[in-house]
Amino acid sequence: MQFTSDNNLALEFAVHIANTNRRGIEQLQTPDQLDRTLDEYGFTGRRDHTQSELQEVKKWRDQLRALWLFDEDELTDALNRILAHHHATPQLLEHDGYSWHFHATPLDAPLVDRLAVEAAMALADVVRAGETERLGVCQAEDCDNILFDFTKNRSRRFCATGGCANRAHVAAFRARRG
Ligand SMILES: [Zn+2]
Ligand SMILES: [Zn+2]
């Protein structure tokens, strides 16, 4: 599986990996760290475990983050470019115990192609659904993590990592107390 049947998981994973180099801490320093991140989300398929693979993934990560800051027209242009650039080719696959499902790239395509296409397909679904307002940036003063707002009433303001909601709450409490 590469989440093709689960768009929300693909979006969660995109947000997670996009935020792996924030607040001055690089969490993808080694191929092993990348492995653990992929395993955590059950991302299958080819992995080369090389420095060059890691560098490609990190380069893509920065482009992924940039998508969050685009308006809808810029985002759709970028998604179309990404799908073409990374050779997206929809096909039905059966593997690792999963019955027939869609993949937009072959399992033996380079990791960065599969990551980029998976994220782009998930974001394309967000565009199709008219939900691009759900792409956001954490509003904590000291954090610029990206987030995807899954809440019903689009009320999410803080990222899931780093305890931002809690810090903001404490700061507001202190400010009220004067
Ligand atoms: Zn699959
Ligand atoms: Zn945050």
pLDDT tens sequence across 28-44: 999 999 999 999 998 98
Cα-to-chain-centroid distance, residue 7: 11
Distance 23 CA to ligand 1 centre (A): 33
Q: Determine which of 14-28, 30-44, 65-79 has the lowest per-residue pLDDT on average.
A: 14-28
Distance 40 CA to ligand 2 centre (A): 21
pLDDT score of 22: 76
Ligand that comes closest to the CA of residue 5? 1
Each residue of 127-163: pLDDT tens digit? 999 999 999 999 998 898 999 999 988 889 999 876 8
Ligand that comes closest to the CA of residue 147? 2
Tell me what the mean pLDDT of segment 78-94 comes to. Answer: 95
Distances (CA, A) of 118 to 64, 136, 159, 171, 176: 11, 19, 21, 38, 45
The CA distance from 124 to 76, in Å, is: 7
Distance 81 CA to ligand 1 centre (A): 23
Res. 1 pLDDT band, cuts 50 70 90? very low
Whole-prediction pTM: 0.88
pLDDT score of 6: 73
Res. 174 pLDDT band, cuts 50 70 90? confident
Tell me what the mean pLDDT of segment 113-139 comes to. Answer: 95
Distance 53 CA to ligand 1 centre (A): 21
pLDDT score of 177: 72
Distance 165 CA to ligand 2 centre (A): 7
pLDDT score of 69: 95
pLDDT score of 3: 41
Burial of 157 (0-12, 13-18, 19+ CB in 10 A): middle
Residue scoring higher pLDDT (95 or 22): 95
The CA distance from 90 to 74, in Å, is: 24
The CA angle 103-108-111, to the nearest 5 degrees, is 85
Ligand that comes closest to the CA of residue 106? 1
| Domains of the chain with CATH codes | 7-134 (1.10.3300.10)
The CA distance from 72 to 152, in Å, is: 21
Q: What percent of the chain has pLDDT over 70?
A: 96
Distance 154 CA to ligand 1 centre (A): 30
